[in-house]
Structure 1
Amino acid sequence: MAAYSERIPVLVTVQEKALIARMAQEAHISMGEFLRRAASSFRPNEDEQMLEGMMDQMLKTTAQASRVIDDTLSFVEASNQRIASLESSRKG
């Protein structure tokens, strides 16, 4: 049996603690052992990894779209200034 010597304080709600206690009791193990087993078996599934990849791509695409919009607005502003200049030269 391993000699446990480190603590990891984890705050949970009253309801979460009751659920963990019940699940540990049903498994006939201590809450500490239950949490150790749960933590060691946790692995992000493919859906979570895919979602993270999609979010990363969305952030990159959004940044790119924002740059294109800024460039387009700058072009439109410069064009409006050229048009205003031409119109004022025709009136004068």
Structure 2
Amino acid sequence: MSDRTRHVVAFYEIDRAWGGPEEGGWWYDCGELARILKVVPSADAAHDLAARANRLMDRLQRGKRDVGSVIYAGGRYAACVLEDTAPRAFPETRPHYE
């Protein structure tokens, strides 16, 4: 990792997507970029900021359905740490069952 690597802390609206019927069906985590919180030069600082943001989000989202619930309809957010840039969505390509 280079000393010039930037670390982006961004909020994503999180969800689960159907992966396929293999082994009785499987799901994967996905998310859409909601907003960039901050860009910092240190990975440690980025992870500390994301942890604080997620603790706050957990309190604010109390009472909302869990992303794993069959009746989840969106509205949960999580802070993620990424290097250099925050993609509009994750994963960038649909995973394959292995």
TM-score, normalised relative to structure 2: 0.24
Q: Which has the higher contact order (CA 8 A, sep 6+)?
A: 2
Greater helix share, structure number: 1
Q: Which structure has the bigger radius of gyration? A: 1
Greater strand share, structure number: 2
